Amino acid sequence: MNFSIDNITRANIKKVSPYSSARDEFKDFSKEMVFLDANENPFENGVNRYPDPQQILVKMELAKLKGVSIHQLLLGNGSDEVLDLLFRAFCEPKEDNILTLPPTYGMYKVLAEINNVENKEVLLTENFQPNVNAILASANKNSKLLFLCSPNNPTGNSFTAKEVEKLLNSFKGIVVIDEAYIDFSSQKSWLQRLSEFPNLVITQTLSKAYGMAGIRLGICYASSEIISILNKIKPPYNINELTQQRAIDRLVKPLEIKNQITTILNQRMFLINALKTISFIEKIYPTDANFVLVKVPDATKIYHQLLQQGVVVRNRTSQPLCENTLRLTVGNEQENTKLINALKTI
């Protein structure tokens, strides 16, 4: 495929010369240096120095864990920052457009609105798969980003590899695969095929399986060419010191994360089996994520009945193809039991 990153990058972004921070200009920590270059307070308290703008230690752990080079990595203040950077790098406001596939994660649409970029929506099929022909028919020369969320939020299913591959081969802009839930999936991550597709961007996050929603760390994987453009426009110190430290502490214990994922997957099975005994649940959708979408007779009513019993779920009834559905996050054994008991009283 003749994909050229230069062709799709905004002209003003190509011209930007990034802010050069004190830590960009001097970063040799090997010698005993005195740092009088960043106007920091010299009294050590663990966070008095600016954090590493390139988060090299975090990236080294991630690179080891995920089998990529650190030049294929960019970190964001949550995936949401990564997604926003993609808009700012590649979408000319009022001129370019993006494609999203509802029902899906709501942030793509919000970011399109904020960045004043048209959002072309192409509904998923009945089985919640991408409608490849309709997507390609909707795309034009100004279509810069195509968002594929797999496993998809809120439906829970993964997109079939065949359909995704067709889109990667035919879409002329960047295909963003949002893998926020990949650690719960039976499908392989597209990370293994990153170098095959110059137009592929994959996002992951520490917010879900890694149990760190509070530290805000999103991960972007792409070719080093794409990464260097995003790097140019990201805020210099977008990942704070506490986040970098806590991320490393967690990433060096992959077994702990793996065990928690196993427990959550077992609980998912328990929850699904228990949901099957609730007579008014009309449908339990197949899931590859840490949540289950169910169809009920009156989602809004049941949502409020659950609230009264102290259980908060997500009402997705206003989403296309999701009328009268509730999205249930898989909790721990006690939480799931509480949900099931509450449903039994309805």
Ligand X SMILES: *Cc1c(COP(=O)(O)O)cnc(C)c1O
In this structure, the number of other CB atoms found within 10 A of the CB of residue 201 comes to 26
Distance in angstroms (rounded) separating the CA atoms of residues 147 and 84: 12
Query: Read out DSSP for 86-144?
Result: HHHHH--TTT-EEEE-SSS-THHHHHHHHTT-EEEE----TTS---HHHHHHH--TTEE
Residue 213 found at the interface with ligand X (CB under 6 A): yes
What are 46-54's contacts with CB under 8 Å, separation 24+? 46/241, 47/241, 47/242, 49/241, 50/21, 50/22, 50/23, 50/237, 50/241, 51/237, 51/239, 51/240, 51/241, 51/244, 52/23, 52/27, 52/244, 53/21, 53/23, 53/24, 53/236, 53/237, 54/231
Residue closer to ligand X (CB basis): 176 or 194: 176
Q: Give min distance, CB of 80 to ligand X, in A.
A: 4
From 87, 105, 221, 303, residue interacting with ligand X (rule: CB under 6 A):
105
Residue closer to ligand X (CB basis): 182 or 302: 182
Q: What are phi and psi of 291, to 5 degrees?
A: -150, 165
Footprint on residues 52-71 left by ligand X (CB under 6 A): none
Residue 153 found at the interface with ligand X (CB under 6 A): yes
Binding residues with ligand X: total (CB under 6 A): 13
Residue 176 found at the interface with ligand X (CB under 6 A): no
Q: Give min distance, CB of 50 to ligand X, in A.
A: 23
Residue 243 found at the interface with ligand X (CB under 6 A): no
Q: Which stretch binds ligand X (CB under 6 A): 75-83, 269-277, 280-288, 335-343?
A: 75-83
Residue closer to ligand X (CB basis): 178 or 288: 178
From 8, 177, 180, 212, residue interacting with ligand X (rule: CB under 6 A):
180
Alpha carbon of 126 to those of 88, 102, 184, 281, 287: distances in Å? 33, 11, 23, 19, 15
Residue 147 found at the interface with ligand X (CB under 6 A): no
Residue 218 found at the interface with ligand X (CB under 6 A): yes
From 115, 129, 155, 205, residue interacting with ligand X (rule: CB under 6 A):
205
Q: Give min distance, CB of 290 to ligand X, in A.
A: 10
Q: Give min distance, CB of 222 to ligand X, in A.
A: 16
Angle between helices 333-344 and 254-275 (to 10 degrees): 10
Residue 189 found at the interface with ligand X (CB under 6 A): no
Residue 78 found at the interface with ligand X (CB under 6 A): yes
Residue 155 found at the interface with ligand X (CB under 6 A): no
Output the six-digit token pair for 7: 């062709």
Give the footprint of ligand X on this chain (CB under 6 A): 78-80, 105, 149, 153, 178, 180, 205, 207-208, 213, 218
